[in-house]
Structure 1
Amino acid sequence: MANFLMLVVAVVTAMGGFTYGFDSGIVATTLGHNTFKLYMFGPSRKNPALSGAIVSVYNAGQALGGLSVGYIADKFSRKYTISFAGFLAIVAGILQAAAVSPVMLIIGRLVGGIACGQLLSVVPVYIAEAAPPKQRGFLVGLQGMLIAIGFGLANWVGYACSYATGNAQWRIPLAMQIPVPVFLTIAALFVPFSPRWLVQKDRHEEARIVLLRLHKTRDTFLADQELIQIGEQIKLEREQGNTSWGIALKKMFSRQYIRRTMTAAFIVTMGQLSGSSVIQNFQNIFYATVGYTGQTALLISGVYGMMGIFGQIFYLVVVADKWPRTRTLWTGSLALSTVIAICMALSATFGAGGNQDGARAAIAFIFIYSFCYAVFFNAMIWVVPSELFPFFLRTKGLAFAVFAKAVVAIVLSQITPIAIANVSWRFYSLFIATNFAAAVIYFFFLPETGGKSLEEIAEVFGDALASEHIGDIKITKRQEAENGEFNEMEFAVLDAQAKEKHAV
C-alpha cells in the first residue's frame, strides 16, 4: 500500500481528473434538458450543428491546452501547471453557468477544454514521477478513478436538476463545475514538487527530502540510490544535448523516439476510438433509438456513470500493478469489441420494434461497456503513456498524445449526430473495428513497462541507461571521495548498483 502522504498527494492532484470527468460528462445531460434546448436552439429545440460545436469546441480546447503543457510544466513545474489549469477551469465554469448566448457558452467550453487538456497532460506525469515504481499503476490510476467519479456525479447532478424549474435545470449543473477546481487550484500549491523536476533544476537536496517523504522510507540508502539514478539519467540526457526545446521536439519524431511518441498518442486516442466519448456525450440519442427519452434517459445516464465507478474500483483493487499492462490493454480491447457487437445486434433488432425486453438488453450491454471500459482503459490509457518517455520528452510526449486525442474527438463529435441520424445502429461497427485492431497492436507491439522505474523503462526501448556507465562513474566518484568532495553513502550506492549490474 502506498505511503499515506503519497496517497493524499495523488488524490489531490487527481482532482484534475475529476474536473475533466465532470466537465466532459455534464454536457451530455445539459444537451438533454428541454429548457436548455429551447434557450440555446430556439423553438425547434434542434440544432445538430450547434450541438456538435458545443462538444467539439471543448475538444479543440483540449488540443490547445495539451500542447501548452510541454513548455509550462517543464519551465514552471508540474504542480504550478496543475494549479493554473484549475484556475482556468473556474473561469470556464463561470462563463458557462452565466451564458446568455451560444457564443458565450462555446467560449466557456473552449476555456474549459484548455484547462482539462492541461490537466490530462500534466497530472499523470506528476504522479508517475513522484510514485514508487511498484505502486505507479495504482497511483496514476487514481486519475482514472476521479474521472469516473466526476463523470458519474455529473450524470446524477443532471438528473436531479431535471426536477428544477426554468433555466435552473441547466445553469445549476454547469455552475457545479466550479467548486472542485477551486479546491484544486489552492491545494496543488501545497503538494511537493516532482522529485525529477527538482533534480532537473539541480535542487538535489529538496528532491531527496521529497523522495524520503513520499516513498515512506527511513532508509536513506534507498532514497540516495534512486536520487543518483535519476540524476545520472538526467545528466546523460543533458550530455546528449536534449535540453533544448527545439532539439527535444525534433527528437520526439526522430527514429529513436517516434515509436514511443506514436504509441502514447495511439493509446490515449483509443480512449476516443474505443467509442467511450461518443457513448458518453451522445448517450441520450442512443437511448432514444431504443425508446427511452426525457427524465428516464437522464436516470439511465446516472446508472451508466455508476457502472464506470464500479469498474474503476475493480481496476484499483484487482488489476492495478497486478496484471501486466499489455495484457490489460489487449484483453480490454477484445472485451469492448465484443460488447459493442452485441449492442449493435440488439439495437438493430429491437431499436424500432417497441420490444421492451430487447431495449432493456441493449441498455444493459451499454452498462457492461461502461464497466469494462473503466476496468481496462479509464486509468490505463494514462498510466502507460506517462511511463514511456525519458524526462526531457515526458510532458511533451503526453501533450502530443492529448492533442491527438482531442483532434480525433473533434472529428467524432462533429460526425456522430449526423451518423446516428443517417445510419443509426450501424455506427457501432466503427468501434468494433477500432477496438479489434487495437487488441492486435497491443498484443504484438507494446512492450511491458510495469514494475520498472521510469529510468529503467528507457532501456526497454534501447536507450542508453545511466547505470550502464556506472563503472566509469564509480572511478570518478572514488576520486572525488578521496579528495573529500563526495559523500561515502553515494559511493556505496554506486558500488551496489555496479555489483547488481554485473550480476545481471
Structure 2
Amino acid sequence: MNGYIVIISIVVAMGGFVYGVDSGIIATTLGHKTFAVYMFGPTATNAPLQGAIVSLYNAGQAVGTFGSGYSADRFSRRWTICVAGILATIGSALQTGAQEVGMMIAGRFVAGVACGIILSVVPVYIAEVSPPKDRGFIVGLQGLMISIGFMIANWIGYAGGFAQGDAQWRIPLAMQIPGAFLLAIGCFFIPYSPRWLIEKERYEQAQQVILRLHGDQGEDFIAQEFIQIKDQIALEKEGRSTNFLVALQKLFSRQYIRRTSTACFILSMGQLSGSTVIQNYQSIFYSTVGYTGRTSLLISGIYGFMGLFGQIAYMLFVADKWPRTRTLWTGSAFLCIMISILMALSSQYPAGTTNQSGPRAAIAFIFIYSFGYALFFNAMVWVVPVELFPFFLRSIGLGLAVFSKAVTAIVLAQITPIALQNVGWRFYALFIATNFAAAFFYFFWLPETKGKSLEDIAALFGDVLATEPLGEIQHGDEKDPNALNSTAKHVESAA
C-alpha cells in the first residue's frame, strides 16, 4: 500500500477525529453534575434542554450538509474540509466559554455544522485518492479516527471529574480545539482530488497527483486510470447542466433514486442501530442499572476503548477481505441480538437492585455492542455510500445521506430522554426492530462493490461506462494502445 496515500488520508481523517471528540465529549459533559447545575439550575435536570444540547448539534450537521456538496464541487474537497476545521474550532471555543445554556447550544450547533461538512466531504476525498483494492481499509481510517476521538473524549471527560467547579467540564470541552485546528492546517499540505482536477480540466496537475498516489501500481495502471476517469467524467457531463439544483434533482430521478435511497438508508440505520443513543446517554443507561457519578464516567472511558478495539479488528480482518454486504447484514443481526439481551437484562435488573450480577452483565453487553458496532459499521457506513454515486453526484449525494442521518439523530436526541423517563427498558425494542429490518435489506438488495473502481461501480446500476472496467483491462490488450502509451509518457514527463 502506498505510504503517501495513507499519510494524506490520515491527515484528512483528522476530520473523523474531530467528529469523534465532538460527539463523544457531550456524553461525559452531561454526566458532570457541575455542568447540569450551571446549565439547568439547582434541580440539575431539564430533559428538553438536555435533548436540545444534543439535537442542535445534529441540526447543525443537517445544515452543514446543504452547502458541502456545492462547495466541494466548486471550491474543491480540500478547501471545503479546511473551512470545516475552522468552523469546528469556533464552535468548540463557544462551548468552552459558554455563559448560559443558549451559548452552549449555539456552540454545539456551529460544531455540528462543521461535522456535517466533514462527514459529507472527508469520505469522498479519501475514496477518490484510494486504489480500489484498498478502499475499504483507507476509507476505514476515518472510522478509526472517529473511534480514537471518541475514546479520548471519554477519558478527557473522566479526567475532568478530578477538577474543581466549572473546570470539570470547561477544560474537556476545550480539548475539542486542537484536533479541529490541526485539520485546518493539514489541508494546506495535501493534494487536490485527482477526479476534481480532471473535472476542472486541470489535466497536468491531475496526472501528477495520480502518479504520486499510484506510482507503485505501474505505468500502465496510471495511464489506464487517468483515461478511465477522464472519459467517464466527460461522458457524465454530456447533456447535463452543471447547475447545483439540477444536480440535486437528479438524485431523485429514476436513474439515481435507488442509489440515493440506499445511501440514505445506510447512514440513517447507523443511527437507528442504537449506537448514538447509547453513546450520548450512557450516563442515563448506567444509572438505570445502579452506576452514577465518577463510576459512571469511568465506565464511559472503558466503553470508549471497545470502539477502538473493534475498529482495529475491522482494519485487520474485515476491510477489503469480507464482502461489503456480508459485513453489513452480519453486523445488523449481531446488534439485534445484543440489544435483545440488553433489553432482557434491563427489565430484570432495574436501578436499585441488590443483585449486582445483572447490572454488570448489562454493562458487559453494552461493551460487546460497542465492539460489534465498530467492527461492522463504524467504517462501512461511510465506505459503501460514497461508492454508490457517479462523480458529479458524489458530494451532493453523500451530503444528502448525511442530512438524513442528522435528521434521524435529531429525532432520537429529542425523544430519548423522554422515552427513558416514561418507558425505560422498553425503548430498546425500537432498535431491535430497526436492526432486523436493516439486516433483511442488506442481505437481499444491497449490491456488492468490493474491489471495484468508483467508475466501475456505476455499471452495477446500469450506467454506461466510457471505457472498459479498469480491473478488466489487461496489459497488451488495451482498446487504444497509442492513447495509453502517450498518456503514460505524459505522466512520466510530468513527474
Range into which the TM-score falls when normalised by the shorter chain: over 0.9
Residues 469 and 101 (structure 1), Cα distance of their counterparts in 2 relative to 1, 3 Å cut = closer
How far apart in 2 are the matches of 1:11 and 1:468? 31
Could you tell me which residue of structure 1 aligns to residue 486 of structure 2? Answer: 489
Q: Would you say 1:137 and 2:127 are equivalent positions?
A: no
How far apart in 2 are the matches of 1:255 and 1:430? 31
Could you tell me which residue of structure 2 aligns to residue 458 of structure 1? Answer: 458
User: Does the 8 Å contact 1:25/1:281 carry over to 2?
Assistant: yes
Could you tell me which residue of structure 2 aligns to residue 233 of structure 1? Answer: 232
Could you tell me which residue of structure 2 aligns to residue 11 of structure 1? Answer: 10
Q: After TM superposition, give the deviation of residue 188 of structure 1 in Å.
A: 1.1
Could you tell me which residue of structure 2 aligns to residue 438 of structure 1? Answer: 438
Residues 230 and 26 (structure 1), Cα distance of their counterparts in 2 relative to 1, 3 Å cut = same
User: Does the 8 Å contact 1:242/1:392 carry over to 2?
Assistant: no
User: Does the 8 Å contact 2:135/2:320 carry over to 1?
Assistant: yes
Map 1:470-485 → 2, pairs under 5 A: none
Please tell me the residue identity of whatever aligns with 1:194: S
What are the Cα deviations for residues 431-464 of structure 1, in whole angstroms up to 9, with x where unaligned? 0000000000000000000100000000011101
Could you tell me which residue of structure 2 aligns to residue 497 of structure 1? Answer: none
SS in 1 for 2:290: coil
Q: After TM superposition, give the deviation of residue 477 of structure 1 in Å.
A: 7.2
How far apart in 2 are the matches of 1:153 and 1:232? 44
Could you tell me which residue of structure 2 aligns to residue 34 of structure 1? Answer: 33
How far apart in 2 are the matches of 1:215 and 1:327? 29
What are the Cα deviations for residues 165-218 of structure 1, in whole angstroms up to 9, with x where unaligned? 010000000000000111110111210100100100101121111111112427
Residues 309 and 488 (structure 1), Cα distance of their counterparts in 2 relative to 1, 3 Å cut = closer
Structure 2: which 5+ residue stretches go unaligned? Answer: 471-476, 491-495
Q: After TM superposition, give the deviation of residue 490 of structure 1 in Å.
A: 4.2
Please tell me the residue identity of whatever aligns with 1:306: F
How far apart in 2 are the matches of 1:121 and 1:16? 11
Could you tell me which residue of structure 2 aligns to residue 50 of structure 1? Answer: 49
Could you tell me which residue of structure 1 aligns to residue 270 of structure 2? Answer: 271
User: Does the 8 Å contact 1:148/1:305 carry over to 2?
Assistant: yes
How far apart in 1 are the matches of 2:393 and 2:221? 26
Once the two structures are aligned, what percentage of the paired residues are identical? 63
What are the Cα deviations for residues 266-299 of structure 1, in whole angstroms up to 9, with x where unaligned? 1011111000000000010000000000000000
Please tell me the residue identity of whatever aligns with 1:80: W
How far apart in 1 are the matches of 2:326 and 2:2? 27
Q: After TM superposition, give the deviation of residue 243 of structure 1 in Å.
A: 2.9
Q: Which runs of 4+ in 1 moved over 6 A?
A: 474-478
User: Does the 8 Å contact 2:306/2:367 carry over to 1?
Assistant: yes
Map 1:3-402 → 2, pairs under 5 A: 3-217=2-216, 219-352=218-351, 353-402=353-402
What are the Cα deviations for residues 53-83 of structure 1, in whole angstroms up to 9, with x where unaligned? 0000000000010121110000000010111
User: Does the 8 Å contact 1:291/1:354 carry over to 2?
Assistant: no
What are the Cα deviations for residues 340-361 of structure 1, in whole angstroms up to 9, with x where unaligned? 0001101111124331011100
Residues 224 and 351 (structure 1), Cα distance of their counterparts in 2 relative to 1, 3 Å cut = same
Q: After TM superposition, give the deviation of residue 43 of structure 1 in Å.
A: 0.5
Q: After TM superposition, give the deviation of residue 492 of structure 1 in Å.
A: 11
User: Does the 8 Å contact 2:223/2:488 carry over to 1?
Assistant: no
How far apart in 1 are the matches of 2:217 and 2:277? 48
How far apart in 1 are the matches of 2:53 and 2:39? 11
Could you tell me which residue of structure 1 aligns to residue 474 of structure 2? Answer: none
Please tell me the residue identity of whatever aligns with 1:210: V
Q: After TM superposition, give the deviation of residue 250 of structure 1 in Å.
A: 1.4
How far apart in 2 are the matches of 1:475 and 1:401? 37
How far apart in 1 are the matches of 2:380 and 2:314? 9
Q: After TM superposition, give the deviation of residue 240 of structure 1 in Å.
A: 3.3
User: Does the 8 Å contact 2:342/2:366 carry over to 1?
Assistant: yes
Residues 214 and 165 (structure 1), Cα distance of their counterparts in 2 relative to 1, 3 Å cut = same
The total of aligned residue pairs comes to 484
Please tell me the residue identity of whatever aligns with 1:418: I
User: Does the 8 Å contact 2:19/2:115 carry over to 1?
Assistant: yes
Residues 236 and 350 (structure 1), Cα distance of their counterparts in 2 relative to 1, 3 Å cut = same
User: Does the 8 Å contact 2:88/2:111 carry over to 1?
Assistant: yes
User: Does the 8 Å contact 1:85/1:116 carry over to 2?
Assistant: yes
User: 239-248 or 461-470: which moved more?
Assistant: 461-470
Residues 475 and 168 (structure 1), Cα distance of their counterparts in 2 relative to 1, 3 Å cut = closer
Could you tell me which residue of structure 1 aligns to residue 407 of structure 2? Answer: 407
User: Does the 8 Å contact 1:83/1:188 carry over to 2?
Assistant: yes
What are the Cα deviations for residues 74-128 of structure 1, in whole angstroms up to 9, with x where unaligned? 0000010111000000000110000001111111000000000000000000000
Q: After TM superposition, give the deviation of residue 488 of structure 1 in Å.
A: 4.4
What are the Cα deviations for residues 241-264 of structure 1, in whole angstroms up to 9, with x where unaligned? 153323211111001100000100
Please tell me the residue identity of whatever aligns with 1:489: S
